[in-house]
Structure formats: C-alpha cells, structure tokens
Amino acid sequence: MATTQNEGKKRRTATTPAKRGATAERQDHQQLDPQKLLDFYRKMVEIRLFEDAAQKGFRTGKIGGYLHVYSGQEAVATGFLDAYEPGDRIITAYRDHAHALLLGSTPNEVMAELYGKGTGLVKGKGGSMHLFDVKNGFWGGYGIVGGHIPLGVGMAYSLRYLKTDGIVQLYLGDGAIHNGAFHEAANLAGLWGRDGLNPTLFILENNQYGMGTSVERATAQTDLGAKFDSYGIEHEKVDGMDLDAVLEVAHRAAKRVRESGKPYAVEALTYRLVPHGAADFLEKYRTKEEVREWKQRDPIALVEHELLESGEISEEQISQIRDENKKLIDEAVKFAEESPEPDLSELKTDVYATAV
Ligand SMILES: Cc1ncc(C[n+]2csc(CCOP(=O)(O)OP(=O)(O)O)c2C)c(N)n1
Ligand SMILES: [Mg+2]
C-alpha cells in the first residue's frame, strides 16, 4: 500500500524523551554508592572524549576507513559491562570503541588501531569496526549488520558445551534486528535455551535509527522487544540513558542468564547524540529539535547531576576529572600519530588461522 508524503513524514519522528514520559524525572531506583558512581562517571567521560578525538582524527584525514562513535549511548555498555565476569564473552557490531575501553583495552592501543598503526589493538589490521581483545573477553567488533549475531549465539552454546558458567553479552542495534541472521540465531538461542544451553544476554541498543532510517520506517512491529517473543525469549525494557537503571537490570539479567543457561533480552532505549557515522553530515532523517531534546538526557550529564546533587563532588572536581581524561586522550592521539605503520612483514600474519 502506498503511503502519502505526509504519512511518510509523520513516521519519521522518533520517540522523544517527552513521549516516553522520561524527561526531567528519573526512574525510582536504588541510589548507587557515590564512589562507584564517580568511577563510572570518570570512565564515561573518558569514552566521550575518546570519541570526540576519534571523530576529529577522521575529519582531518588522519584516520582512514570508517568510523562510528558511541556518544550518547555510554550508559548502556557502562552498565552492562559492569556485570561482566572473566570467562564471559562480549560481542557487538561496529560501534565498538566503548566496549573495548570498558573491558580494559587501553586508549593508546584503541586509538592506534583507528589510525591503522602497528601498535594498535589488532596491529592496525582491523580499524574502528573490528576491535578484538580476547584476553579481556572482547570477541569483536563486526562491520556486517547482523553478521555477529549467529556468532554470539554459537559462542554461548560453546560455553555450555565446554561446561563453563560464562555468558555471552550480545549487543545489537534496532536496525540489525530486522536482518535474517538475527531471526535464525534467535530461533536457535530459544531452542537451545530450553535445555539450558544458550546463555545469551541480548542487549538491544535501540537508538531509534538504523543509519538514516527510523524504527517507525523500518518495521510495522515497532515494539522491538516483541520480536523475541517469536522465539520464546523473555525480555524487558530499560531507559538506556539512565545508568542506575541500566546497572540494575544488567546485574539481574546477567545472573538470570548465567544460572538458567537460557537467553534473555533487554531493550535499552537510547539515542546517539552524534551522526550515524563519520560521513553523516546532514542528518536529514531527524530534526535539530529532536536531537536537542535528547541532549537534555545526555547520560553523562545525568550522572554528573546526580553526583553534584548528592554533594559527593564539587564543580571543581568535575573539571579536574575532565582535565585528567583530556590528558589521557591527548596522549593516546599522540601515541597513535607517532606510532609506526605495521611492518611489511606483518602483511600476511594473523589473517588466516593457518598462515598461507
Ligand atoms: C548487511 C549490511 N547491510 C547494510 C549495511 C550498511 N549499514 C551500516 S550501519 C547500518 C544501520 C544499522 O543500524 P543499527 O543496527 O540500528 O545500529 P546503529 O548504527 O544504530 O548502532 C547499515 C544499514 C551493512 N553494514 N551491512
Ligand atoms: Mg540503531
């Protein structure tokens, strides 16, 4: 059925914070230990400044390939990765810098990777979309939308097959959920989960756009969590801009998946406060007002507000944290810029499991 232009326009608008009743008031939940909250704040600021520097590096031609940053979504990975335990496996798509940094890859090695340098996290061979750090539980970093989902579900099966109690945190976007790979993998996750053989925690990062297409324009079933119902996978939603709320669900959901061996899904409603990728300048698919409105719920500003309100921290300490992180990221950029290109002898190493 054809839609009129007006109908099309109407459907463009994404969910706004006001529509969700989530503007000024935050959900009622337990207050965190202020020291812990401060640590999260410090890390989230580091991630934001890292992403700012990465965008600058791309726009000034120092970073090649392509680049997608995580700004605005920090509370999601920060909250869920707090539930990470050694032996777990983390897998995501291409918006992956924050996940690597949270799991323990250093800003130096991640930045050098974006610069394609030999000192990079994967020796300059992966770039922004293919970060990998197995010692820290990070299993990538994938550029093909939906392509990592069957891999994540398969890894979850292998963890139980090998009789470990690890789980897989599988991050996917609102665009990726329409991909056939999701539906095949979710079907198997639900099926294997009946026997306790699929500890996959699906983390659906619904930032409301897949590149330039809003959820409303991509699917007739806009309640994305409902897609998991088809496969017998239970699910819930969380406000992905609210770190405290994410932390609460993350720990509860990870425990549930670990103990049951059954998959579970959490849809985190979030928003990227930046363009889709480094070449998305015009952002014709959304209005400036909408972005402005969501900026009021910037997850870092919300944590900052909470810290200041609790009296745990002063404005002065806030700027000190920013300065310290700025220094850390400036050093990472310098390290990346000054690092050597990968050596020519590395051309064929680490490409195939058995070298050719
Ligand atoms: C199989 C495939 N189709 C299309 C693309 C181009 N593409 C890159 S990102 C993207 C949107 C994905 O959106 P979503 O899953 O919501 O992730 P987000 O960018 O919002 O984090 C598309 C279509 C791709 N990389 N792979
Ligand atoms: Mg999206």
Distance separating alpha carbons of residues 195 and 210, to the nearest angstrom: 34
Bridge partners of 264, per DSSP, are: 201, 234
Q: How far are the Cα atoms of 76, 79, 207, 238, 299 from residue 253, in angstroms, in the given order?
A: 13, 12, 20, 12, 21
Tell me which residue has its CA closest to atom 21 in ligand 1.
Answer: 173
Pick the more confident residue, 355 or 270. Answer: 270
Q: At residue 63, does pLDDT exceed 80? A: yes
Q: Which residues lie across from 235 on neighbouring strands?
A: 265
173 sits in which H/E element? strand 168-173
Q: What is the Cα–Cα distance from 210 to 92, expressed in whole angstroms? A: 15
In this structure, how many other beta carbons lie within 10 angstroms of the beta carbon of residue 5? Answer: 7
> Which residue lies with its CA nearest to atom 2 of ligand 1?
145
Question: Atom 17 in ligand 1: which residue has the minimum CA distance?
Answer: 173
The per-residue pLDDT for range 242-253, each reduced to its tens digit, is 999 999 999 999
Tens of pLDDT, residue by residue over 136-156, are 999 999 999 999 999 999 999
Rounded distance, CA 278 to CA 223, Å? 29
Please give the pLDDT value at position 275. 94
Residue 274 has pLDDT above 90, yes or no: yes
- Quick one: which atom of ligand 1 is closest to the CA of 176? 15
CA angle 56, 61, 62 (to 5 degrees): 75
Kindly give the number of the ligand 1 atom that is closest to the alpha carbon of 206.
16
Percent of the chain with pLDDT over 90: 85
Q: How many angstroms separate the Cα of 130 from the Cα of each of 148, 181, 185, 193, 278?
A: 11, 19, 21, 29, 16
Atom of ligand 1 nearest to the CA of 147: 1
Ligand 1 pocket test: pick from 179, 206, 211 the residue with the most ligand atoms within 8 Å of its Cβ. 211
**pLDDT tens per residue, range 203-228:** 999 999 999 999 999 999 999 999 99
Token pair of 181 as six digits:
């790979």
Which residues line ligand 1 at a C-beta cut-off of 6 Å? 95, 143-145, 173-176, 207, 209-211, 276
Q: How far is the CA of 203 from the centre of ligand 1 (A)?
A: 16
The band of 28, judged by pLDDT with boundaries at 50, 70 and 90, is very low
Domains detected in the chain = 36-342 (3.40.50.970)
Alpha-carbon distance of 59 to 161, in angstroms, equals: 46
| Residue 69: pLDDT over 90 | yes
Q: What is the mean pLDDT of residues 39-63?
A: 97
Ligand nearest to the CA of 208: 2
Atom 11 of ligand 1: nearest residue by CA position: 210
